[in-house]
Amino acid sequence: MIKMGSDILQESTEHHDMSAPLSHYFVYTGHNSYLIGNQLSSDSCDIPIIKALLKGVRVIELDLWPSTKDDIHVVHEFRLVDEKVRLLSLNEQALEKATTSYGSDLVRFTQRNLLRVYPKGMRATSSNYKPILEWMHGAQMVAFYMHLPICFPSFETALSLLGLGLQLSANTLSLLLNRVIHGMFRANGGCGYLYMGDGWRKNYSQTHSHHRISTPSTRLALLRIEVREYDRSKKDDFGWQTCLPVSELKYGFKAVPLYDKKEDKFKCVKFFMRFQFL
């Protein structure tokens, strides 16, 4: 008789060191959290905010504007720049340029300061960007659109991220990226804060070479599982999927929770798997 473990991950509750400065954590961060669709004409609503918070998002964005003497509106209109001490905010394009010329300086900055990265203004359809570059340089608040695009990707989407040259729409890529993002932040009990680790901070503080930057790579390794229904006459249909942080997987036979296209968890469906680490 095989005894099946109750949890696929190491811990189902918060278990990282939570006593370090905030700059030592990846923080689950949303962008324009109140919008229900595209960035140009969609309505503002509290439902996306509630859903984001329930999924573990810990930084949300609200644009507040006075309406009457005693009332305010949350609307997506003109922007005010709020400069905070020890917080640098860059869009994804500016961050990419900075890593090219000032990569080690950027990592050194995030040792003691907060770096927020947000989507470029051209992402009108609320598509997301690949976050690995930002995370590898220590950006704590990598802001994402939490509402999912309408279209659903084919299996070839995963191949695109492996660099096999397939052309995908921005929305298709964004949906897979949303799964990767949710998967990463399932670690540490899904609390929305991931400790980068002592080695990431201590090693870099003792290193000044541009070629020896230590990064929190073990926190960034993810395992994506997709179950598809075989169809002899046409493309296999999507069934269920999940994305899990490799650093917290447990050895043995496990019942893996599965999610639908919108990242909602199935209550009665799990995938029985055996995990071994060589």
Cβ-based neighbours of 115, under 8 Å, separated by 6 or more: 87, 88, 89, 90, 106, 109, 137, 138, 139, 140, 141
* Cβ neighbours, 10 Å, residue 159: 13
Residue 150 pLDDT more than 70? no
pTM: 0.77
What gap in Å lies between CA 145 and CA 160, rounded to an integer?
A: 21
> How confident is the model at residue 151, as a pLDDT?
42
> How confident is the model at residue 207, as a pLDDT?
47
Lowest mean pLDDT among 2-11, 66-75, 129-138, 203-212: 203-212
Instruction: Please say whether the dihedral angle defined by the alpha carbons of residues 76, 66, 81 and 185, taken in this order, is positive or negative.
Output: negative
> How confident is the model at residue 218, as a pLDDT?
66
> How confident is the model at residue 140, as a pLDDT?
95
Confidence band (pLDDT; 50, 70, 90) for 43? Answer: confident
Residue 108 pLDDT more than 80? yes
Confidence band (pLDDT; 50, 70, 90) for 163? Answer: very low
What gap in Å lies between CA 224 and CA 263, rounded to an integer?
A: 13
Q: Are 125 and 168 in contact (CB under 8 A)?
A: no
Lowest mean pLDDT among 40-44, 130-134, 176-180, 188-192: 40-44
Cβ-based neighbours of 156, under 8 Å, separated by 6 or more: 166, 168
> How confident is the model at residue 131, as a pLDDT?
87
